[in-house]
Each structure stands twice: as structure tokens, then as C-alpha cells.
């Protein structure tokens, strides 16, 4: 076992897969010699060469379109989109092509690509380095969406994603690249140093797609979350002394509905926390599913705690961010009766 | 008007392109420059792209008005190859005719002809290696026919019937045929362009020797994907051939709305430092030669070539379209570059390898083959008459393995059908 | 009053607005001389000239980007995207630019553009002429999303959208361009001939954005729907004799939450019907909102009736379409106890 | 290998560009062709774009090595104008220095310098009319400074403080200044390109006389928006100037990844039949002359011009970047085109309109002005120290009127703050 932060774990996942499978290639803006603006691909070009790890022109449409073509040839591309906020120019290639190729060609051609992209805020990145657009992708049939919350999961899920024969959107919560954020922007940042999720095997292993993790068992309320918010939620309930069951979804599509149902049936209450804007976010789908499937077990309405329906504002980002206070208020409400 | 810099100038005005002819207009294509066949030089395939810019502005032509093959671009094909190309073009035309009629008869929802543009697909297919990978738009059915795809198979797709290997999921003519080196056609324009580049880059990265070729219409060159593709291709010198089929029209809008008033589409190549050729798209020998030349460049790591095929869309955009609403009916008959089938026929006759009777017999044979194929295909059903794929297939292939939510929805669909008593 | 089908009503809205306001311009693929592939802009170029109504290059990114620039100049562009399935190449210009311009520039610049686009299936259009992507746009802060269900509403809403100073996505349900679809693909199609919603004033009027319409009052269940589905739902409940209250949302963002709450509080049951794929569709948001706001009035879980999470299949489109049988089954379930 | 067409060929290989120098390398820019100043011809502004393709491959230069202005492109500016340009460039540099330091001092989150590229923005601003509309990228702060925008106002934006007219909503340097003809900067690359075309088309449609100008980096030319913009511009002959600032680097990737190995960025223009110029971007007179020439074309309905400004990014991409990790530290000092401030200073001295003392005084004055502005701005607060806009402003301006859901969320936020006791 090694100790890794999330960047190192992600780097290790690509390293392991490139060593195992000569068809895995890594591409994206600044991922080559430099190793990526977050250093996630550091060292890979030196190790695997320029034909397998290379910089690309700055066209997200082209990056994904080219990756789809490489996938059709038989490669297993792992393109990086530098920030999730910059994935929109690639949307047509993702939605109309990658997501549809297997279906429309009846598996004549497939798109086994894994699109890595840092997402989420809390780093004073302003409107265009902070977004959480997962709700756009979870609505698209044919795409899988994966979001890790620990280095261990990040590596295991990324390996599973790369091996998966379907296109996977792999969003990396950049706020927790270097440590599990507690939600208090005004307190010293944590590192991964003492976190069990930072114990990561050096070699190959998988965390299966489609399986959630119960991060903390509890009886009072089920909290569904993913990415950065797993840690913010965990800190908050600890601080408030709430016996919540925290479920880290890990994969949004396909969703681990069994884990959710089981927990909600047990606790009778369900809260959903995500950083993305509220209206039409993935929380809406979770809320709808829980109501549809656990209605008669619910003792209170499903509660959503989310970012607001505004762009991510630069200076007021901590008023936007669904932090401990917003979560705490929602807990008060859902546990009221 | 706060600044002296422009105080004396007349106001700006917006230029909005307008085609020269509208319904009812007399057509005169005299302004289209048609250089004599054989006039364009043929650079060595190892020459740098910057050394033959003029080829993006002229027109590579091999067949002259008397049906002779002239000049350095003459690919010197054997009579057998020429006859095979002629037959594939004729067969494509017969196929189009019949399927167009099938749509009109209500047997399917949609069809798109390639009439007048058969050379662009068929001659290219003959010039490529059989396992080079094609990323076509929706108007290159000629490739599949030239590569020997069974006609009934194509028709099954058009009918979305139970023989359709695509399980009725796609609009008619949106074929996919991996075994014939033919990529799944997308409804979204030009998305295949960067995909072709990606395939070609993969081939190069793997030390393979296969190359990619892709096609789009002149209207489709405006999409951002076109630019992404050419940018990637020039950066990595991808072994890919970009074909722009300039058939003058994009549904109702003429090529001026894609930029044809200012320059040629072949000139786009120059902007990227890519080899560019402008070719008489109705001259099967020119198309063959240009493709072969571009393929040789690609195979020898000289990188991409863009070929503009100057041609004309003889029919409506699709069965949903009525071109008489926006263009003069005279245009096709006045088109200065003629009909590719007629021109190749003339050539074969001119070199003594063909005659009118054999041509008539071939046409008949093509019609019969298409008819027989149609009969075979219709045994599997036509659209909307029950002989479709099992309903469950709708949920298959969204993912490699069906997740719980699709299983549930599949069951819901089955229950629905039970509830409805069907 | 004139009698108009939905195409005519939409055409009339643009005609009226172009006559009133010289800053209104219409642009898009094939919208000029030809008048649009659905004829929605027929006659406008002849009437208002080529500088105000013109064909564009085939680049949806360019169409919206150019429209944003025109809006910044002071025009009021009404771009058409030929099919909603082709809106994805424009997504970055819509999400990162049109939707954000007012906010990020503090109203230095605005994007008063109305993006018209035919959407929805049921016309054997296959995967790429049938999609209902409204759920992507409703998630984007700064965009309004409008969907009419009658010629009268189409004209009045389109006029309101054009006059609105925010970017509006105006999705036109193409299945009901020529008549209110009853949901039975195997019965003769209806025309607008005898529909009261096809009585349309020739001149200027508005239907306000953000206001739903109660299409039919009822007591048994509230059905939230929009576009084509309004008519399919109306036919179905009539056939089944269910006393449902049908609410035609008309505007998805901003939503008429009052109308929804009032109705659900009254009926105690809520069903949502849309044609878009289920997961993460706008129905999820509606379900979440209703649960959050009317939980203690609900006698049954909120029910969603939607298209399936697959691409829109060509030959099996009627198995995909949420028609009378699917709606009927859901009604049985929600009215059960 | 199923096809004889390629049986004798060696395998394909993928070309991946590589910059010539990496950290530690000795730099020799001897291969960069630097034509003598004055060598490029200056066509009449009414000449067709096709008649001067060579200007896309050469380099318009006015200032020679001795600081003399030579050749047909000399804009013959008055000494006052020259001094104003010099001051605006120096002020821009002083501003950049100070704000960079402010970021390092933790007073804000982010900053981007334009060091070495000041001419591209400042000289262009001087050549345009004051109400021509600019659609910049993030590295043309020089435009705002040249147009007289108060420095403290820019700093308020950088600090996201309570004086920030953008209410702290935008990342530092993402200015918007309608009154200065400066469009809201986007974080998303190249989106401003089609917007500039739209603005220009609107101006033309309205019979206005104002034109638009837009800027992007050479790396950003790869985005699809670039292509959409050039396509629209050529089709409607939009009165717009496209500036491509080729500063050799896009974060860590060199211009080869945008296509610079195969041709110039100015050559992109040729692909669309647009006028294209390649200009020494470190020569303020050349930039001024080229801009003026392009503006005259635009104002006389001759349509768009694309200008490649050949320059060098002297500093890191932004405060988040450390260029020593990917390029040789020697590059800037060896850059063959020098420093635009130094070159204009030399010229003014050469013509007897400037001297070292006045220059030193000017530098001091610039530093003082920036310092004073900073003092003023910091009265309104720095980032993260409480003096931001009221929290409610977060919900304003999403729409013209606030809908119920934002009102509710705003209330929720207020309640939250109460609950937290803040
Ligand atoms: C992204 C996208 N936008 C719009 C359309 C609608 N559309 C289908 S074909 C077509 C015209 C294409 O013209 P061209 O590229 O010249 O090809 P041709 O039909 O002439 O072969 C248009 C606008 C589409 N299919 N995809
Ligand atoms: C759509 C998009 N993709 C990626 C980025 C991230 N990014 C910001 S600046 C930059 C490099 C741009 O280089 P260039 O265009 O050469 O401009 P320069 O910084 O040299 O002025 C990148 C990749 C972005 N902001 N937007
Ligand atoms: Mg065409
Ligand atoms: Mg650059």
C-alpha cells in the first residue's frame, strides 16, 4: 500500500492501465510534456512516449471526436478536458456520437473512451473553473457518469472506467485533489495524510462502476452525495452529532438504486447534497427516484441541499457553496418531526 | 459618429449571398470556369503541400468532351476496372431510383439519392484499398455498392425490418457496415470528420498501413467539427483524405452560404498547410486519380489531403424536399460537367471497350438486381407493417450490459403491451 | 380572429414582431428564401428583406455566437436551429455565453435572443430528428425554456419571448405543428380545424412567460405536462373517464410553481408526463419540487410517465413514445389507493 | 495487409510536434525568418484578398534595427501619438507588474500579464476609432488602458471588491466595459470570435459605420468558434478584424499544437478568401498600420481581415503557471523581435522626439499612477477580506427580473447567514 493524494491516485490508474494495455492512450490540452495543469498526467509521456501521451490542439470538440475515432479503431483513449466548464464545445460529439455509437451501429463500432475532467468549485475559480455539469450527462442515455471521493476510489473507479466498453464521463472533484475538504473555507485545509481513503495499492485493482459505498452507517437520515460533498457532509454530521447514513454514490449512471432504497427504507428520511445548481440537477432525479420507490417509508419530504441557481460567483463563492450551514439547516428541517 | 476616422464614409451594408437562379429563371452557367481536361499538373506525391496551391483553385479533369482520358492525372485504369466502376455507378443509380420510389409508395419514411454524384463515392472506393476506413456522410451509398455490400442488406436497413442489422434503430440510409470499412453514419453533420482523423491517428500510432477517408457536403464544411478535424490532421500529419462534396446545394441554401463566393472549398486546405485539390467530381477518372494520389501521400506519412469534388446535386435533398421551390429546374440539364455515368460510358466507348448495347444490357441487369434484392428484402417486412425487430431490442445496446433502469423500463414496455392486449 | 395551425401562428408571431420592431431579425439554416424546412419563416424574407431574414452557414455554434453578438449590438435575433437534435454544437455559446452574459457583465451586455427549434418525436424521424433535450436547458441558470401546446399559445408565447430581454429557448413540438395529436399513431391524424386553441388573433398579443394554463380542471389527480403531451394526456383521460386536472406548464423556467402547488394540494396526487428520456429529465425536477412543497398533501407517490432511457428508435418509435397506454397504466397506479 | 495497394510500404507513424527548446536548452532562434523592415508591400485597401496571399507568409515590419520607420506600411504617426502609445504600453506593463505582485501577496486569486505583447493591444486601440467595438481575449488589457479606462476601476474588478462594477462575479481580469467599447471577457476560449462577427453584421445591417475587432491566442484558433466566425464573416463580408496573437505558447503547449509547423496562422485567412496579414507583433507601428489598413477595408465594405501578430509570451500563462517547467528560460531574451516598448522608445529617440530621461520619468510616473490607483482600489477592499458586494447581488442579474426560485434561494441564503450568526 502506498499513500497517495487524489492526483497521484489518478495518475497511478493511468500508469497501471497504460502498462497493462498498449491500446490505452492519454490526450488533452497540456497533458503531455507538462503533465497537465493539475499534474494528473505527470511523468506519463516520459514513460510511455509521445504517441501514447500527447498534447492536443485546444478544441474540445476535436479532442472527443478524435477519441471516438480512435475508439472505433480499437484504442481505448483517455482524453482530458482541462476543466468541466470547457466540456460544452464537445457536447455534440459526446451526446450524438460517443453515447450513441454502440446503439446506432448495433455494436459495429463502440466508443470505449473515458473522459476525465476536474469539476466543482471552492477554489476561487470563478464562473468558468467551478462548474458541476454532471446533471447534463446523467440525462444522456448511453453515457456513464462517475465521480470519486477518495484517492482509493479514484484509482479503482478510473481503472474500471478505462476497462469499460462504454463511454464514461469521469469527473474529478478538484477541491479534494489534495485533501478531504471539511467545508470550512476559513479553517486550515486538510491533506490526505491521515485519511484511510488515501491508502492506495500501487498496482491494478478495480472499484466496480455502479456500486455506491456506505461511508458511514446511521439511523436518523440517509444522505446521498458524491465527490467533495461526501467529506463536507461527513464533517457536518460529526460536528452536529447527527446519526446520518452517508451514501457516496460514486457512479451516478448506472446508479446503485439498491443501496439507496435499502438505506432510505431503514432511515425513513433522505437528503441529497450536491454542489451543482439546483434546478434540474442530479439531485432532482435522486429525489424523484426515492419518492417513487420509498414513498411509503418516508417520514419527511426528500430534501435537496445544492448550489444555487446562479453562476458560480467569484467573490461570494462560499455563499454559493452548499457548506456546513446549509447542510445543517436542512438537517434540522428533515429531522424536525 | 464620434470619430473622425470615418466621418466621410458611406454607411456599412450587409452582404447576403443570393444564388444566380431561382425557380423559373433561365440558367446560364457560363461563368463557371471549366479548364480543359488534362491541364492541371500532377505534383509528385512527396511534394510539399505549399508547392501546389494552384491546384486548390483549378479543376483536375481527365475526361475531355470527346470522352478521351488526357493529361498527367489519367489513372490508366484497366478496362475491367473502368467497367466495374461504370457498373457500380449505374447500380447505385438504379438502387436510388427504386428506393426513392419505395419511399413514395409508403414502404419507408425517408430516402436520399446520390444522383449525379455517383463518381464521388464509387471512384473513390475503387481507388482506396478495400480495408481503408470510410467515414461517409449520408450520400456515399456508392461506396457500399462498390465494395460489394449485398443490396438486400441495405434495403433491410431502409425498411427497418426484421432483417435490418441495425435493428430498426436508425433512420433509413444511416448505414453502418464495419465489414465493409464503412463507419456508422450520423444524423449530425460533419461529426465524422474528427472521427476519421482519430481513426487515422490510431492507425499511424499503431504502425498500421490502413488510412481513413471521410466525406461531407460543402454546406457541412461550416460546422466546427470540420475545423477541429483539419487542425488535428495537420498537427499530427494524420493519414486521412478529406472529401468535400461540393454539389452546390445544402437543402435549399446554395454554396455561397458556406463561403463559395469568396474562394473554393479546396482552398480551405491551404489555410492549414494541408494538400488541397479541386477535382471535377463528375469525372470518375479524375476522382479516382485524385483519391489514389491522396492515398499515396497518406500512406507515405505525407499527411492529409483535402479534395473538393465539384459536382451537382441532381435531385432533391431527400424525399422530404422539393427543390423546385428554390432553384431553377434547368440547373441540372445545364450543368457544365455533365453526368458521371454518361461520361464514363462515353470514355469506354471511345476506347473501344464498351457499346450502347452492352450499356443497355447493364442497365437492365442493374434494375433486375435491385428488383430482386427488393423482393428479398421485403420478405423481411417494410416499415410500420409489424415485421420489425423484437420490442426488447430497443433497450439493448444502449450500454454493453443492460443496467437495472433499462431492465425495468423494458419490463414496463412489455407490461404495457400486455395491458394494451397486443 | 383567424384560424391558424401552429406553423402559421409561429410565422405570424415573427411577422408581427418584425413589423413592430426593426431590431428583430430572423436567421438560420434554410429560413430565408425557402422559408424553413417546416415553413415557419415562409414569406418573411420577401416581406422584410434579406438583411433581416437570411439563411446561415450550417454551424449551430456560429448561429448562436453571431446572434449573441447581434444582441450585444442591440438587435433582437430570433435564430432557428433546424432540429433540437442539432442544438448541441451551440451548447457552449448558449450555456457559457448567452445564459451568462447579463450576469457576468452586470448587464453591460445582454443576450435578448429567442432560439426557436422544433423538438420531439412521433414523426418517424429516427434518433436525430426526434429528441426532447429541454432537460439540458432547464438546468442552466440564465436560460428560459418555453414550450407551447396550441397555436394561440405558440404565437403569444413567442411574442413574449422575443420581447423578453433574456435568452429564451423556444421548443416547438413538431408533432403538433399541423394538429393536436391524440396519441394514437394508428388512427387518422387530427388537424387544428376544430380546436379552440387554433383561434389566433392576427395582430399583437402576448401570453406571459412563467404562467401555466389549467387545460382542464379536475379533482382526481394533477397531471403536469407540456407540448405534444398536453393533447395526448387530454385524449387519454377523456377515453378513460378520469377526472384529472391537466396543467400545461408552457414555461419550464421560470416555472409557475403556484399553479402546480395549488392543484396538487387540491388533488393530492401528481403525475408528470413528458416525451424526453426519463433519467434527469425535467420531470425529475417537477417530481422533486412537488414532493418538497406538497409532501403532506400527497396521497400517492408522484408518478413520472416519460420516454425511455434509450435513443429514439426509428422503427419502434411508438413503443418509445409515452402514449395512452403508458399514461393509462400510470393513472391506474396513482389512483389505486 | 489485405490489399496490394500498400504491400510494399513501410508502416505509418504518428507525428507528434515537439518544441525546439525545453528547460535547460540553449536557445537559437536562427530558423525564424525575420524579413527586413519595410520589405512587405502594402496593397490598396480595395484590392481583392486573393491578390496578396504572400502577405500571410511574410511579416509586415516598419521599425528596423536602428529604430527607423521604413517602407510602405509606415503609418506616419505624429510624435504625440507615438508618445501616447509608448505611455500606454509602459502603463500596461506597470499595471501588470503591480497586479501580479498583488496576487502573489494574496490580495486576489488570479492574474494574467501581457508582458511583451503590449503592442498588439495598445497599437490596435490607437488605430481603431474609439467607439469601434472590441471583443478581446484575456490578454488585451492594453486596450482598456489605451482607451483611458480608470486604473482603479480595473483593480476593483481584480479584487472583486465593493467597488467592482461586475459585483465580484467574475474571475480577475475578466473585465466588461461597454462605455469603452470593450466586450465582456469570457473564460471560454474563442467564443468572442463569432460574437464579434455578429456585432459587425448588426452594424452593417443597420447602416452604422462602427466596426468590430476581436482577439484570440494562436492556441485558441483551434476551437470550432474560430471557424464559425471566419465562415460567417466571409459569407456576409462582415466589417470585422480578426486578430490572432501568436505568442508561441498556449499554457504549456507550443504553437505547433495549433498547426504552426505546417503554415502560418495568417494563412487561415486564405482558406476562407479573407484578407490575411502576418505582422511583427512587437512592432507597434506595424500593428498600428495593419489595424488601420484592415479597418479601412472593413469600413468600406471590403469585409474582414485576419491579422496574425507574431510575438512572444514573455511571462507565465497566468499566476497559476510556471513556464520554467516546460520551456527554456532563455527564450524571451533570445526572441528575435525584441520588446515592443523598447522598440518604440528607440524609434522616438531616433527621430529626436524622446530621450532616456523622459523615458525614466515616464516609467516613474506610470509606476506612481498605478500605485495611486491601487491605493484607491484597496480602499474598496481586496479579495476575501469582507469588503465584497452585498450577498443578495449573487442572485441579481441571472435574469432581468428575479424569478420566484431565485428569490427563495436568496432568502435561504440570508437565513443561513443568520443561522450561522454572521
Ligand atoms: C448538426 C446538423 N445541423 C443541421 C442538420 C440538418 N441538415 C441535414 S442535411 C443539411 C444540408 C447539408 O448540406 P451539404 O453539407 O451540402 O450536403 P448535401 O446534402 O448537399 O450532400 C442540413 C442543414 C443536421 N443534419 N445536422
Ligand atoms: C474552451 C476552453 N478550453 C480550455 C481552456 C483553458 N485554457 C485557458 S487559456 C488556454 C491557453 C490559450 O492559449 P492561447 O490561445 O495561445 O492564448 P494565450 O494564453 O497565449 O494568450 C487554455 C487551454 C479555456 N479557458 N476554454
Ligand atoms: Mg451540398
Ligand atoms: Mg498563445
pLDDT in tens, D286-344: 999 999 999 999 999 999 999 999 999 999 999 999 999 999 999 999 999 999 999 99
What's the CA gap between D160 and A225, in Å, rounded? 31
Q: Which ligand is nearest to the CA of D217?
A: 2
CA–CA dist C103, A310 (Å, integer): 9
Q: Does A315 touch chain D (CB under 8 A)?
A: yes
Band of residue D260 on the pLDDT scale cut at 50, 70, 90: very high
Active-site positions of A read 129
Residue D155 CA, ligand 2 centroid: distance in Å: 23
**Per-residue pLDDT at B216 exceeds 80:** yes
Helix (H) or strand (E) holding A62: helix A60-73
Over residues B26-46, mean pLDDT: 96
Ligand 1 pocket test target in B112, B192, B222, B250 with most atoms within 8 Å of CB: B250
The gap between the terminal CA atoms of chain B, to the nearest Å, is 73
Residue ranges in chain C whose pLDDT is less than 70: none
**Beta strand C251-253 pairing with D275-280:** unpaired
- The rounded Å distance from CA B49 to ligand 3 centre is 26
CA of D152 to the centre of ligand 2 (A): 27
- Chains with at least 3 CB pairs less than 8 angstroms from chain A: B, C, D
Of C70, C109, C144, the CB nearest to D178: C109
Ligand 2 atom nearest to D139, measured from its CA? 21
> Is any Cβ of chain C less than 8 angstroms from the Cβ of A307?
no
For residue D249 and ligand 2, the question of a CB distance below 6 A is answered with yes
Among B8, B13, B81, B227, the strongest candidate for a mutation testing the D interface, having the largest count of D CBs within 10 A, is B227
pLDDT of residue B6: 67
pLDDT at res. B4 = 65
pLDDT of res. C204: 98
Residue B145 to residue B122: CA distance in whole angstroms: 8
Integer-rounded Cα Rg, in Å, for chain D is 23
Shortest-distance Cα residue to atom 20 of ligand 2: D250
Cβ neighbors of B282 (< 8 A, separation 6 or more) are B116, B119, B310, B311, B312, B335, B337, B338, B339, B340, B343
- pLDDT score, position D8: 75
Counting from 1 in the atom list of ligand 2, the atom nearest the Cα of D258 is: 16
Name residues with Cβ closer than 5 Å to ligand 4, which is an ion: D 217-219, 247, 250
CA A81–ligand 2 middle distance (angstroms): 12
Residue D4: the pLDDT is 65
Predicted pLDDT at B18: 98
- pLDDT number for residue B1: 37
- Chain C residues whose beta carbon lies within 8 Å of the beta carbon of residue D132: none
Instruction: Determine the distance separating the centroid of ligand 4 and the alpha carbon of D203, expressed in angstroms.
Output: 30
Q: Chain D contact for C51, CB < 8 A?
A: yes
Assign D262 a pLDDT band (cuts: 50, 70, 90): very high
Strand positions, DSSP E, chain A = 2-3, 24-28, 53-55, 76-80, 114-119, 144-146, 168-173, 199-200, 213-216, 221-225, 244-248, 251-253, 270-277, 303-307
Is any Cβ of chain D less than 8 angstroms from the Cβ of A267?
no
Q: Is C297 a catalytic residue?
A: no
Instruction: Express each pLDDT in D102-113 by its tens digit.
Output: 999 999 999 999
Contact in structure between B60 and B317 (CB atoms under 8 Å):
no
Q: Is the pLDDT of residue D421 over 90?
A: no
| Among the listed residues B34, B67, B71, the one whose alpha carbon sits nearest the alpha carbon of residue B290 | B71
Provide the grid cell at D148.
Answer: 483611458
**Residue of D181, D279, D196, D182 whose CA lies nearest to D230:** D196
Q: Report, as an integer, the average pLDDT of A69-90.
A: 98
Q: What is the pLDDT of residue D1?
A: 37
Asked if residue D98 has its Cβ within 6 Å of ligand 2, the reply is no
Does ligand 2 lie within 6 Å of residue D251's CB atom? Answer: yes
**CA distance readout (Å), B177 to A169, B113, D198, D321:** 27, 19, 41, 47
Report the mean per-residue pLDDT for chain A. 97
Write down the pLDDT at residue B260: 98
Say what the pLDDT of residue B358 is: 98
Model confidence pLDDT, tens digit, residues D141-163: 999 999 999 999 999 999 999 99
Nearest in space to B283 (alpha carbons), one of B134, B85, B129:
B85
How much of chain B exceeds pLDDT 90, in percent? 95
Q: How many CB atoms lie within 10 A of CB A202?
A: 12
What's the rounded Cα separation, in Å, for the pair A98 and A81? 15
Q: How far is D267 from chain A (nearest CA, A)?
A: 17
Contact B168/C at CB under 8 A: yes
For A319-332, what is each residue's pLDDT tens digit?
999 999 999 999 99
- pLDDT, position B421: 87
Atom of ligand 2 nearest to the CA of D245: 21
Torsion sign across C-alpha atoms B227, B229, B232, B235: negative
Model confidence at D386, pLDDT cuts 50, 70, 90, reads confident
CB pairs under 8 A between A and C: 126
Report residue C234 as a C-alpha cell: 387530454
Cross-chain Cβ contact C92/D188 below 8 Å: yes
Residue B3: pLDDT band with limits 50, 70, 90: low
The pLDDT of residue B422: 79
Say how far apart CA A309 and CA A320 lie, in whole Å.
9
Per-residue pLDDT at A106: 98
Q: What is the pLDDT of residues A98-155, one digit of tens each?
A: 999 999 999 999 999 999 999 999 999 999 999 999 999 999 999 999 999 999 999 9
Where helices occur in B4-140 by DSSP H, the ranges are 79-104, 118-127
CATH fit for domain B48-378, picks 2.40.50.140, 1.10.10.10, 3.40.50.970, 3.40.50.1220: 3.40.50.970
Distance CA(A159)–CA(A78), nearest Å, equals 11
User: How far apart, in whole angstroms, are the C-alpha atoms of residue B320 and residue B361?
Assistant: 33
pLDDT tens, residue by residue, D62-85: 999 999 999 999 999 999 999 999
Question: Counting beta carbons within 10 angstroms of the beta carbon of residue B317, is it exposed (0 to 12), middle (13 to 18) or buried (19 or more)?
Answer: buried
Amino acid at each position: 500500500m502506498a499513500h497517495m493524494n487524489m492526483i497521484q491516485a489518478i495518475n497511478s490508474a493511468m500508469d497501471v492501465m497504460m502498462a497493462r494495455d498498449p491500446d490505452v492512450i492519454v490526450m488533452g490540452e497540456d497533458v503531455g510534456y507538462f503533465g497537465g495543469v493539475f499534474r494528473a498526467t505527470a511523468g506519463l509521456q516520459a514513460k510511455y512516449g509521445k504517441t501514447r501521451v500527447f498534447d492536443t490542439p485546444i478544441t474540445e470538440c476535436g479532442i472527443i471526436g478524435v477519441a471516438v475515432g480512435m475508439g472505433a479503431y480499437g484504442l481505448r483513449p483517455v482524453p482530458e478536458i482541462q476543466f468541466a466548464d470547457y466540456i460544452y464545445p464537445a457536447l455534440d460529439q459526446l451526446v450524438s456520437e460517443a453515447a450513441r455509437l454502440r446503439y446506432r451501429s448495433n455494436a459495429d463500432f463502440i466508443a470505449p473512451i473515458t473522459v476525465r475532467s476536474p469539476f466543482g468549485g471552492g477554489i476561487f475559480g470563478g464562473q468558468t473553473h467551478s462548474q458541476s455539469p454532471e446533471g447534463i450527462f446523467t440525462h444522456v442515455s448511453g453515457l456513464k457518469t462517475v465521480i470519486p471521493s477518495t484517492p482509493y476510489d479514484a484509482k479503482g473507479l478510473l481503472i474500471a472506467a478505462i476497462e469499460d466498453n462504454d463511454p464514461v464521463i469521469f469527473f474529478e472533484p478538484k477541491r479534494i485533489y489534495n485533501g478531504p475538504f471539511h467545508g470550512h473555507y476559513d479553517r486550515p485545509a486538510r491533506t490526505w495524510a491521515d485519511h484511510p481513503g488515501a491508502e492506495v495499492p500501487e498496482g491494478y485493482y478495480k472499484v466496480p462502476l455502479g456500486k455506491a459505498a456506505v461511508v458511514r452507517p446511521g439511523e436518523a437520515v440517509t444522505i446521498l452525495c458524491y465527490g467533495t460533498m461526501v467529506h463536507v457532509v461527513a464533517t457536518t454530521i460529526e460536528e452536529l452529532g447527527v446519526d446520518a447514513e452517508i451514501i457516496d454514490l460514486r457512479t451516478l449512471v448506472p446508479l446503485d438504486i439498491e443501496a439507496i432504497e435499502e438505506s432510505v427504507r431503514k432511515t425513513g428520511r433522505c437528503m441529497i447534497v450536491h454542489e451543482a445548481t439546483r434546478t434540474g440537477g442530479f439531485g432532482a432525479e435522486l429525489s424523484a427516484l426515492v419518492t417513487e420507490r420509498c414513498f411509503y417509508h418516508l417520514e419527511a419530504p426528500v430534501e435537496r441541499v445544492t448550489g444555487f441557481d446562479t453562476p458560480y460567483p467569484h467573490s461570494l463563492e462560499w455563499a454559493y457553496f452548499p457548506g456546513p450551514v446549509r447542510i445543517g439547516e436542512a438537517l434540522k428541517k428533515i429531522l424536525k418531526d | 459618429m464620434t470619430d473622425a476616422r470615418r466621418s466621410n464614409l458611406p454607411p456599412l451594408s450587409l452582404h447576403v449571398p443570393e444564388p444566380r437562379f431561382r425557380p423559373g429563371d433561365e440558367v446560364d452557367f457560363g461563368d463557371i470556369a471549366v479548364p480543359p481536361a488534362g491541364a492541371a499538373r500532377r505534383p509528385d506525391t512527396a511534394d510539399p503541400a505549399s508547392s501546389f496551391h494552384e491546384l486548390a483553385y483549378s479543376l483536375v479533369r481527365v475526361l475531355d468532351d470527346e470522352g478521351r482520358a488526357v493529361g498527367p492525372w489519367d489513372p490508366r485504369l484497366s478496362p475491367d476496372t473502368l467497367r466495374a466502376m461504370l457498373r457500380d455507378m449505374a447500380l447505385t443509380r438504379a438502387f436510388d431510383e427504386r428506393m426513392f420510389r419505395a419511399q413514395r409508395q409508403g414502404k419507408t419514411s425517408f430516402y436520399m439519392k446520390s444522383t449525379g454524384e455517383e463518381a464521388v463515392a464509387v471512384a473513390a472506393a475503387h481507388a482506396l484499398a478495400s480495408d481503408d476506413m470510410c467515414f461517409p456522410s449520408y450520400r456515399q451509398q456508392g461506396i457500399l455498392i462498390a465494395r460489394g455490400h449485398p443490396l438486400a442488406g441495405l434495403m433491410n436497413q431502409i425498411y427497418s425490418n426484421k432483417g435490418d442489422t441495425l435493428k430498426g434503430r436508425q433512420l433509413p440510409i444511416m448505414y453502418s457496415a464495419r465489414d465493409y470499412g464503412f463507419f456508422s453514419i450520423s444524423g449530425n453533420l460533419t461529426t465524422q470528420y474528427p472521427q476519421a482523423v482519430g481513426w487515422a491517428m490510431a492507425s499511424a500510432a499503431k504502425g498500421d498501413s490502413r488510412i481513413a477517408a471521410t466525406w461531407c457536403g460543402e454546406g457541412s464544411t461550416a460546422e466546427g467539427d470540420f475545423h477541429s478535424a483539419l487542425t488535428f490532421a495537420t498537427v499530427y500529419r494524420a493519414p486521412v483524405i478529406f472529401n468535400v462534396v461540393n454539389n452546390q446545394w445544402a437543402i435549399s441554401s446554395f454554396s455561397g452560404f458556406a463561403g463559395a463566393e469568396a474562394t473554393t472549398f479546396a482552398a480551405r486546405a491551404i489555410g492549414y498547410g494541408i494538400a488541397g485539390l479541386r477535382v471535377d467530381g463528375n469525372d470518375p477518372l479524375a476522382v479516382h486519380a485524385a483519391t489514389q494520389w491522396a492515398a499515396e501521400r497518406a500512406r507515405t506519412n505525407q499527411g492529409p489531403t483535402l479534395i473538393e469534388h465539384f459536382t451537382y446535386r441532381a435531385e432533391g435533398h431527400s424525399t422530404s424536399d422539393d427543390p423546385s421551390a428554390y432553384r431553377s429546374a434547368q440547373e441540372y440539364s445545364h450543368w457544365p460537367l455533365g453526368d458521371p455515368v454518361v461520361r464514363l460510358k462515353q470514355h469506354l466507348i471511345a476506347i473501344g471497350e464498351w457499346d450502347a448495347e452492352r450499356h443497355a444490357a447493364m442497365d437492365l441487369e442493374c434494375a433486375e438486381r435491385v428488383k430482386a434484392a427488393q423482393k428479398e428484402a421485403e420478405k423481411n417486412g417494410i416499415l410500420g407493417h409489424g415485421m420489425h425487430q423484437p420490442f426488447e431490442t430497443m433497450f439493448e445496446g444502449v450500454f454493453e450490459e443492460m443496467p437495472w433502469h433499462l431492465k425495468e423500463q423494458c419490463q414496463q414496455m412489455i407490461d404495457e403491451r400486455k395491458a394494451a392486449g397486443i
